[in-house]
């Protein structure tokens, strides 16, 4: 039995984060692909509350929720590629940024995609607000983690890749080089890293998925 | 609207003599603000307590938390830390001389974080249904809270606290919501916990008797008054 298992889905941004962290740390793992419409008994056993990916199972013990898994990975395999800063204030800031992406940004993106009128406009505003905050936080660093990819970079892969695919799929362009120069530079740098290219799904595979999702939701709304 | 605490902030000052370095931006009835208060009290940290009028947020709050614009915010040496569970972990890491609030072992830490995240999402969400929902939604909220309470009781088991023998992170995160359950008994007929989750109720009583908790918790009346004010505010748009 593999010591480390990851339950995920191919296009899943949250489980890909977990895999990135393990790859950065050089930790071997077994990957199990889940079918969202037919979840495995193991997934439900390991994550009875949410019944969703990702789940990391280490020596038979499950850990759920991607940010919690990332921190667990960092605390368990400390010697290589530290993901979170040592300084308590920097750590708190990293957690705050991650939370901002996973809560405010994801909700705002949802409003942009599926909201109507005022709600859609509010979503656009909130999306740009988070993007601006991230842009400012980068300052002159190559990565959010400094010289190396860290916790926030891994979490922000959602912005770099998945949000890019969503924009293309629904035909909006909020994240521009003009409005967010540092963030755009970070995206180019981040996505061209070998470990990122090897471990994230190609954008061309994500765009049609989001297009189909968007069209299905739009059709459902109008019927 | 500002609800002042029942007890004076001076009663929260302890050994630490760098009070000018620690400021808590807070709102007395907030369960999230309560968490930060309890953590500071557990560690014996003296601090300046500033209460916000949420209908007229201070310049300091807007400067310290521009993107979420909400309390609590811990300002330490001029730098803001936001989000109550992030604040508790920060406090635990900086003031690490005594009484660790989180376990030291990574898997136990992950479990504790998961439970706190669960409380932030599920317990909070269902509680809001009980506060704000019309009859049917309120009933759904109560059903959900019973389900979450049973889950939490299972996690607690026969331990004194969620972390074992010592009061800590998960207890701090949950006890302000347990305080809400007491209020729910009065206006929403939420009585089921005593019979269905006796261990959780014993845990609740144990926590409420703790000095750091009793000094930090709003009274159930203050919580209920705040809820009425919110409802009035919403009625006016």
> What value does the mean pLDDT take over residues B80-103?
96
Residue the block writes with tokens 């079918």: A35
Considering only CB atoms, which chain A residues are within 8 Å of B151? Answer: 49
Neighbours of B214 (CB within 10 A): 13
Average pLDDT for chain B:
90
Q: What would the two tokens of residue A31 be?
A: 């990957």
Find the CB nearest A92 among B81, B110, B113.
B81
Q: What's the pLDDT at B88?
A: 98
Residues of B numbered 47-86 whose beta carbons fall under 8 angstroms of chain A's beta carbons: which are they? 67-68, 76, 79, 81-83, 86
Distance (Å, rounded) from C-alpha A42 to C-alpha A33? 12
The dihedral through the CA atoms of B95, B158, B139, A221 has a sign that is positive
Considering only CB atoms, which chain A residues are within 8 Å of B68? Answer: 100, 104
Considering only CB atoms, which chain A residues are within 8 Å of B87? Answer: 92
* Apex B101 CA angle, B98 and B105, nearest 5: 100
pLDDT above 90 covers what percent of chain B? 78
Residue to mutate among A46, A65, A88, A107, with most B CBs inside 10 A, is A88
Q: What's the pLDDT at B12?
A: 43
Contact B93 A64 (CB under 8 A): no
A101: contact with B, CB 8 A cutoff: no
Contact A88 B79 (CB under 8 A): no
B202: contact with A, CB 8 A cutoff: no
Q: What's the pLDDT at B237?
A: 42
Contact B107 A91 (CB under 8 A): no
Nearby residues of B206 by Cβ (< 8 Å), 6 or more positions away: B160, B161
A94: contact with B, CB 8 A cutoff: no
The radius of gyration computed from the CA coordinates of chain B, to the nearest angstrom, equals: 17
Residue to mutate among B78, B87, B110, B125, with most A CBs inside 10 A, is B110
Q: What's the pLDDT at A221?
A: 76
Predicted confidence pLDDT, tens digits, chain A (223 residues): 569 999 999 999 999 999 999 999 999 999 999 999 999 999 999 999 999 999 999 999 999 999 999 999 999 999 999 999 999 999 999 999 999 999 999 999 999 999 999 999 999 999 999 999 999 999 999 999 999 999 999 999 999 999 999 999 999 999 999 999 999 999 999 999 999 999 999 999 999 999 999 999 888 877 7
Chain B residue at shortest CA distance from A134: B67
Q: What's the pLDDT at B193?
A: 83
Query: Would you say A58 and A76 are in contact if contact means Cβ atoms under 8 Å apart?
Result: yes
Residue the block writes with tokens 């908790």: B213
For B175-186, the pLDDT digits (tens) are: 999 999 999 998
Q: What would the two tokens of residue A184 be?
A: 């755009």
In this complex, how many residue pairs, one in chain A and one in chain B, have their CB atoms less than 8 Å apart?
58
Find the CB nearest B117 among A58, A68, A92.
A68
Find the CB nearest B86 among A63, A65, A95.
A95
| A76/chain B closest Cα distance in angstroms | 6
Contact A104 B93 (CB under 8 A): no
3-state secondary structure of B229: helix
Residues of B numbered 87-116 whose beta carbons fall under 8 angstroms of chain A's beta carbons: which are they? 87, 89-90, 93-94, 106-107, 109-110, 113-114
Q: What's the pLDDT at A2?
A: 61
Facing residues of A55 across strands? A7, A64
Task: Indicate whether this model's pTM tops 0.90.
Answer: yes
Query: Would you say A153 and A200 are in contact if contact means Cβ atoms under 8 Å apart?
Result: no
Contact B81 A61 (CB under 8 A): no
Q: Which of B36, B50, B42 is nearest to B14 (CA)?
A: B42
- The secondary structure element, H or E, covering residue A131 is helix A118-138
Contact A92 B89 (CB under 8 A): yes
Cis bond before residue A54 (omega within 30° of 0):
yes
pLDDT band at B235 (very low <50, low <70, confident <90, very high): low
What does residue A64 show for φ and ψ, rounded to 5 degrees? -120, 165
Sheet containing strand B79-82, edge to edge, reads B48-51, B22-26, B73-76, B79-82
B39: contact with A, CB 8 A cutoff: no
Residues of A numbered 26-45 whose beta carbons fall under 8 angstroms of chain B's beta carbons: which are they? none
Q: What's the pLDDT at B233?
A: 72
Checking if the pLDDT of B147 tops 90, the result is: yes
Contact B110 A89 (CB under 8 A): no
> What value does the mean pLDDT take over residues B3-25?
56
Sheet containing strand A4-8, edge to edge, reads A30-33, A4-8, A55-58, A61-64
């Amino acid at each position: 039995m593999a010591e480390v298992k990851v339950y995920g889905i191919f296009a899943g941004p949250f489980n890909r984060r977990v895999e990135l962290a393990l790859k950065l740390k050089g930790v071997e793992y077994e990957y199990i692909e889940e079918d969202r419409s037919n979840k495995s008994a193991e997934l439900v056993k390991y994550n009875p509350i949410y019944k969703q990916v990702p789940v990391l199972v280490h020596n038979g013990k499950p850990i759920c929720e991607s940010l919690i898994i990332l921190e667990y990975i960092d605390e368990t395999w400390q010697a290589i590629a530290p993901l979170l800063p040592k300084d308590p204030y920097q750590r708190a800031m990293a957690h705050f940024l991650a939370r901002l992406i996973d809560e405010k940004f994801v909700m705002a993106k949802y409003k942009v995609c599926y909201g109507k009128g005022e709600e859609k406009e509010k979503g656009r505003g909130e999306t740009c607000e988070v993007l601006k905050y991230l842009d400012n936080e980068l300052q002159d660093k190559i990565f959010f983690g400094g010289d190396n990819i860290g916790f926030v970079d891994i979490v922000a892969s959602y912005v770099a890749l998945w949000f890019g695919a969503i924009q293309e799929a629904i035909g909006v362009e909020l994240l521009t080089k003009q409005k967010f120069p540092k963030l755009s530079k970070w995206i180019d740098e981040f996505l061209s890293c070998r470990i990122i290219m090897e471990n994230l799904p190609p954008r061309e595979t994500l765009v049609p998925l989001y297009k189909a999702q968007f069209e299905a939701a739009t059709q459902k709304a109008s019927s | 609207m500002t609800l002042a605490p029942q007890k004076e902030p001076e009663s929260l000052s302890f050994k630490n003599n760098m009070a000018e370095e620690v400021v808590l931006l807070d709102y007395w009835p907030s369960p999230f603000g309560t968490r930060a208060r309890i953590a500071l009290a557990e560690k014996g940290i003296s601090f300046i307590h500033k209460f916000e009028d949420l209908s007229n947020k201070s310049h300091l709050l807007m400067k310290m938390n521009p993107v979420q614009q909400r309390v609590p915010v811990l300002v330490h040496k001029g730098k803001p830390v936001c989000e109550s569970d992030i604040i508790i972990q920060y406090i635990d890491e900086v003031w690490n001389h005594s009484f660790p609030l989180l376990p030291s072992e990574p898997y136990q830490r992950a479990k504790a974080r998961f439970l706190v995240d669960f409380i932030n999402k599920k317990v909070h969400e269902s509680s809001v249904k009980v506060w704000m929902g019309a009859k049917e939604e309120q009933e759904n909220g109560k059903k959900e809270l019973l389900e979450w309470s049973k889950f939490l009781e299972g996690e607690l088991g026969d331990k004194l606290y969620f972390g074992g023998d010592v009061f800590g992170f998960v207890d701090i995160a949950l006890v302000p919501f347990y305080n809400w359950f007491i209020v729910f008994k009065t206006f929403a007929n939420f009585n089921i916990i005593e019979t269905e989750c006796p261990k959780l109720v014993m845990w609740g009583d144990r926590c409420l008797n703790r000095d750091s908790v009793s000094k930090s918790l709003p009274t159930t009346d203050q919580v209920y008054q705040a809820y009425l004010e919110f409802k009035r505010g919403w009625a006016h748009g």
